[in-house]
């Protein structure tokens, strides 16, 4: 019989007490997309790929906002307004457009690199509330990158019975 190994995790609990039992881990983060140089003639197509990924993300966020509004109400659904605003941020849009047109980066890497720049800047902000908003930015980035890859939004399977949920961020 194999020995069971004890693992102790530390974090911020969402319910009191201790937990002993099966663990369901929700993966964190996303990997950098492949970077490659595009030709001058491919710049318009890359710009269109970028716009298409943003539009698909907007549609998904609008749908999610409506579902949350129906379940939890108007106020709770407003968090997605901030997500949608990120997709329309002029500084982000201009930087990505420049990375595609001037540096000739593929659209998904250009977007990823610009978002990483913004994320790093937010992580250095002294205000803890604003630092916590990096999770919103990361979520938007993940959604757009999934749409570049034409991946479905992952649905987390619900484990049978009681379990311990472990996640870097529950938001």
28 belongs to a structural domain: no
State how far the Cα of 110 lies from the Cα of 94, in Å rounded to an integer.
11
Domain that holds residue 90: 43-167
The pLDDT value given to residue 115: 96
23 belongs to a structural domain: no
The pLDDT value given to residue 119: 93
The pLDDT value given to residue 51: 98
The pLDDT value given to residue 34: 92
Strands, E assignment, the chain? 23-26, 164-167
The pLDDT value given to residue 78: 87
| CATH, residue 123 | 1.10.274.10
The pLDDT value given to residue 156: 47
What are the tokens at 28?
């964190």
pLDDT tens, N- to C-terminus, the chain (171 residues): 455 566 666 677 767 777 777 765 655 566 789 999 999 999 999 999 999 999 999 999 999 999 989 988 888 888 889 899 999 999 999 999 999 999 999 999 999 999 999 999 999 999 988 888 888 899 999 999 999 988 665 554 555 667 676 665 555
State how far the Cα of 159 lies from the Cα of 139, in Å rounded to an integer.
23
User: What global pTM score does this model have?
Assistant: 0.73
102 belongs to a structural domain: yes
The pLDDT value given to residue 167: 63
The pLDDT value given to residue 63: 94
149 belongs to a structural domain: yes
Q: Helices in the chain by DSSP H: which ranges?
A: 43-72, 74-77, 79-87, 90-101, 107-123, 128-132, 134-149
12 belongs to a structural domain: no
157 belongs to a structural domain: yes
Tokens 């937990």: give the residue.
19
98 belongs to a structural domain: yes
What are the tokens at 161?
């019975």
The pLDDT value given to residue 73: 87
Closest by Cα among 148, 118, 134, 130 to 57 = 148
Count of the separate structural domains present in the chain:
1
132 belongs to a structural domain: yes
């Amino acid at each position: 019989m194999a020995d069971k190994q004890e693992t102790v995790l530390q974090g911020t609990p969402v319910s009191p007490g201790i937990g002993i039992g099966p663990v369901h881990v929700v993966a964190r983060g996303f990997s950098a997309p492949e970077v490659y140089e595009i030709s001058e003639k491919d710049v318009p197509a890359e710009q269109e790929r970028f716009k298409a990924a943003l539009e698909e993300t907007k549609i998904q966020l609008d749908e999610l906002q409506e579902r949350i509004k129906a379940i939890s109400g108007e106020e709770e659904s407003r968090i997605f307004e901030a997500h949608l605003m990120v997709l329309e941020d002029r500084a982000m849009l201009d930087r990505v457009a420049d990375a595609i047109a001037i540096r000739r980066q593929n659209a998904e890497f250009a977007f990823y690199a610009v978002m990483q720049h913004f994320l790093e800047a937010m992580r250095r902000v002294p205000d803890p509330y604003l630092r916590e908003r990096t999770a919103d930015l990361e979520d938007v980035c993940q959604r757009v990158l999934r749409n570049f890859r034409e991946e479905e939004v992952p649905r987390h399977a619900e484990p049978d019975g009681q379990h311990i949920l472990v996640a870097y961020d529950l938001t």
